[in-house]
Amino acid sequence: MHINSNVAISDSGFIFNPLTGDSFTTNPIGLQIIEMLKNGLSQQKIITEITTKYLVESSTVEKDLRDYLSMLNSYQLGEYVN
């Protein structure tokens, strides 16, 4: 997924979408995921990073990541890429 280039994200986890005018807050892990997406990491690489860092089941991370990406997409913050 690509995070849309005009989306503003602060270190505090505050997100502003200047296209829609919507604003959101995300937690530290959500912020880390967005940073990883912006750095071009694949979904599999993100799952590996989080699984290693937080010692959680990869299946759990995979499901949560899928939900999170779906949310980013529905809020027009990011777009799926092939």
Return residues touching another protein (CB under 8 A): 6, 8, 16, 18-21
Pairing verdict, β 8-9 and 14-17 = antiparallel
Please state the closest distance from residue 70 (CB atom) to another protein, in A.
18
Helix H or strand E encompassing 14:
strand 14-17
Per the document, the length of the chain is 82
Backbone φ, ψ for residue 40 (5° rounding)? 85, 15
Minimum CB distance to another protein smaller for 18 or for 56? 18
One-letter identity of residue 8: A
Q: Are 52 and 21 in contact (CB under 8 A)?
A: no
Please state the closest distance from residue 24 (CB atom) to another protein, in A.
13
Please state the closest distance from residue 39 (CB atom) to another protein, in A.
23
Minimum CB distance to another protein smaller for 44 or for 76? 76
